[in-house]
Amino acid sequence: MSAPIFISYSSKDRGIAETICRALEARGHTCWISCRDVYPGQNFQEAIVQALRSAQVMLLVFTSNANNSDEIKKELVLAGRHRVTVVPIRVEDVVPNDAFAYEFATRQWIDLFKDWEQEIERLVAPIGQILQTAKSPDGGDVEAAKTAIPFRLAGNAQPSRRLVIASALVAVLVVIGGGVVLYLRPFSHAPAPGPSLPQQTAAATPAATPSPSPPPVASPAKPEPPAPSPPAAPAAPPPQAATPPPAPEPSSAAPARTPPAATPSSDEAAWQTAAAANTIAAFNDYLKAFSAGAYAEEAQLKMAELILASPIKSKTYDGRWLTTISCPAFGRAQAYTTEFSAEVRDGTYHAHVGSAGEPGSLVVDGKIVSDGAAAFFAKGLIGSTALSGGTPAGVPYSFHATAQFERTGGTGRRIEFRPCGLTFVKQ
């Protein structure tokens, strides 16, 4: 699947990225976001490259997490290569580090944390202009598009054409000049081949040229080599060339290079194995080996999805459970703790907090399988700007969580965006 708008974000900011995606799609724009549009078993990196290649706009969800993300830097490079307009969206009041400061030097960003509704509308208008320009038959007037919107294009088509033409002219002149030189060279050095041929014939037939001194010197020089031929027995120098001391050294050097490359490739290989198996046990094995690996969050999300989709029913944990969610301070968001009661029937967990459709409301649905492994999906509406770090009340959000239950208790953690802990006590 491809879309004109590519949303780039840190995996830790999935919640806010999905919120922005929903806000734009509710206004008629189609977005591509990896957490939704990369299918199970699909190569993650290839999917991102293909999506960026076909996009016209890259929305960069900029937070403190994104500020330290090497993956986002790679996506910015790809955006520049494919002439994709980059629009930075600051969700937190974060100053870009050196790498991003250079990238944003000529771009204007949107600050969503100031006034959500106003800034979203401010974002939608120029995006529409960019996409409309991209749809024109001849690619549109790039310079006009740049003046009409406050964002700099990742590539400038007009100067690049002039540069290509100039480069082509220079290349033609170089080729012509090189041809002239090659054409004239045989005449300027014509005498040289004459002497070289006599030298070769003299070496090949020493008796054919008796008059010049060089040929006689060359012919005695050839008879002498037979005398050195006894020393040719020491021609055991070939064993020196054939002796494989040099060969063992490269072979010993090769292992020295492999260990550095082994660590990332083993992470990648383990993830590919887990993704191919696509089972709870496989993802759990990956997390045990690479708890801080490059695909740790994806593995947790895959586990959550598989548990939630499990048809297994179990009455082991049926009853009412007091659930507590504790979230530490995160960026500009204040710490908070909330408690609510949930009902579990046949292993299916359900809780509802507040009035449906009102700010501060939350719905949590989950599944607890027979061995106590559990997963949850929560969706709600922001209730407090202070607790959300500036996102206005009423804005929708969602997250996944995983947990492990015992007979009368359980603990878990939120996966995306904010590192919150969950505790469960049977009532």
Burial of 213 by CB count in 10 Å (0-12 exposed, 13-18 middle, 19+ buried)? Answer: exposed
Q: Please state, in angstroms and rounded to a whole number, the distance separating the CA atoms of residues 15 and 391.
A: 12
pLDDT digits (tens, 9 = 90+) for 308-319: 988 878 889 999
The confidence score (pLDDT) of residue 110 equals 81
What residues contact 350, with CB distance under 8 A and at least 6 apart? 342, 343, 344, 364, 365, 366
The residues facing 97 across adjacent strands are none
In this structure, which long-range contacts are made by residues 334-342, counting pairs with CB atoms below 8 Å and at least 24 apart in sequence? 334/386, 334/387, 336/384, 336/387, 341/427
What is the DSSP code (8-state) at residue 391? Answer: P
* Averaged pLDDT for residues 166-177: 48
Assigned token pair, 287: 């997390």
Integer angstrom CA distances of residue 129 from 24, 56, 118, 147: 14, 11, 18, 11
Q: Quote the pLDDT of residue 425.
A: 95
What is the model's pTM? 0.44
pLDDT at 146: 37
**Every domain range in the chain assigned CATH 3.40.50.10140:** 5-156
Q: 344 forms bridges with which residues in the sheet?
A: 319, 349
Give the pLDDT confidence of 60-79 residue by residue, as tens digits: 999 888 988 989 999 998 99
> pLDDT value at position 55?
93
Q: Read off the pLDDT of residues 105-160 as tens digits, 9 standing for 90 and up.
A: 666 678 877 677 778 888 888 788 888 776 554 544 443 333 333 333 333 333 33
Structure tokens at 401: 């969580």
Per-residue pLDDT, 169 = 52
Q: Report the pLDDT value the prediction gives residue 136, as an integer from 0 to 100.
A: 52
Among positive and negative, which fits the CA dihedral 161, 140, 151, 395? negative
| 319-426 CATH | 2.40.128
Q: Which two tokens stand for residue 225?
A: 């080599």
Which tens digits make up the pLDDT trace of 270-307? 988 999 999 988 998 999 898 888 888 889 889 898 99
**Comma-separated ranges of CATH 2.40.128 domains in the chain:** 319-426
Comparing CA positions, the residue from 309, 322, 379, 381 lying closest to residue 348 is: 309
Specify the pLDDT at position 52: 93
Question: What token pair was written down for 19?
Answer: 């919120």
CATH architecture of 5-156: 3-Layer(aba) Sandwich (3.40)
Averaged pLDDT score across all residues of the chain: 74
